[in-house]
């Protein structure tokens, strides 16, 4: 290779290293967290709740405050990518969404728990959002792809259940070695009557002051799985002959999705 090509590559590599080093020294918001969990596990409700109740000495969170999935696409330097977004956040509270799939599939990490440990060591508090009802979680994902469709394709449901099952196992492994706050969709977020208790837990965990009580009393709408899925009999028949027959007994008439 000619020497001028070697010099050019060396110059580009040094510039890249300089940019990476400078990103490590950028100032960050005073409170940082990572919202870890699969899609439709309550992230939107949690963000809305934080926006409503948090009142730190720096002021209320504006309507534009958001928690983005920063690693949904591949980045060669994911930590620096996160820090750049944090340094650009005009608010005192910075958070981003993260899933096991982001780490294992998108970024090909063989030991994703190490990345979570790096985030924790850099001051990011970990909130683990999860759903216990696997059946309703899978239906929510499938219905989001076609909201007007009340029929669920059984093979697609089984494939989604398998994917969620694998994600849950991966999530438990990834967060096991760092302190984290578990937040469950059905018990902590879906019911507005418990929002105040959830807000208190979130604020204590993030070392934030709670601006106000969330006083909301609401009668919940109970809706069974057959009310959500038009071809429920076909779905049951397929599930009964699969590895996920057990979800039929767990999918009792609890809460609306």
Q: pLDDT tens across 122-165, in order?
A: 999 999 999 988 999 999 999 888 888 889 999 999 999 999 99
Give the model's pLDDT for residue 208: 87
Residue with tokens 């093979």: 155
Among 174, 156, 143, CA closest to 244: 156
Instruction: Fill in the DSSP letter of residue 167.
Output: H
Helix, strand, coil fractions of the chain, as percent rounded to 5: 50, 10, 35
Q: What is the CATH number of domain 3-250?
A: 3.40.50.300
Sheet with 93-98: list strands edge to edge: 93-98, 31-36, 124-130, 180-184
**Chain mean pLDDT for the chain:** 84
In whole angstroms, what is the distance from residue 57 CA to residue 92 CA?
9
Residue 43: other Cβ atoms inside 10 A? 23
* Burial zone of 92 (CB within 10 Å; 0-12 exposed, 13-18 middle, 19+ buried): middle
In whole angstroms, what is the distance from residue 227 CA to residue 214 CA?
31
Query: Residue 80: is its pLDDT beyond 50?
Result: yes
Kindly report the pTM of this predicted structure: 0.82
DSSP calls for 120-149: HHTTEEEEEEE-S-HHHHHHHHHHHHSTT-
């Amino acid at each position: 290779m000619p020497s001028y090509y070697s010099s050019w590559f060396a110059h580009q590599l040094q510039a890249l290293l300089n940019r990476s080093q400078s990103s490590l020294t950028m100032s960050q918001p005073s409170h940082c967290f990572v919202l870890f969990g699969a899609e439709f596990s309550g992230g939107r409700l949690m963000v809305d709740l934080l926006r409503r109740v948090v009142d730190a000495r720096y002021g209320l969170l504006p309507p534009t405050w958001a928690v983005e999935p920063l690693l949904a696409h591949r980045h060669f330097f994911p930590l620096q990518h996160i820090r750049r977004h944090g340094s650009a956040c005009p608010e005192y509270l910075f958070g981003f969404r993260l899933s096991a799939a982001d780490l294992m599939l998108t970024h090909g990490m063989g030991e994703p728990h190490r990345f979570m440990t790096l985030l924790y060591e850099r001051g990011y508090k970990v909130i683990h959002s999860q759903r216990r009802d696997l059946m309703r979680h899978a239906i929510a994902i499938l219905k989001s792809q076609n909201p007007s469709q009340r029929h669920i394709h059984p093979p697609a449901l089984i494939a989604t259940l398998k994917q969620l099952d694998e994600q849950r196992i991966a999530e438990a492994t990834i967060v096991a070695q760092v302190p984290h706050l578990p937040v469950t969709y059905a018990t902590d977020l879906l019911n507005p009557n418990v929002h105040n208790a959830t807000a208190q837990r979130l604020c204590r965990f993030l070392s934030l002051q709670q601006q106000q009580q969330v006083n909301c009393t609401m009668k919940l709408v109970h809706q069974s799985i057959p009310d959500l899925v038009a071809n429920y009999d076909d779905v049951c028949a397929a599930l009964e002959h699969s590895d996920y027959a057990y979800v039929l007994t767990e999918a009792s008439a609890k809460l609306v999705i």
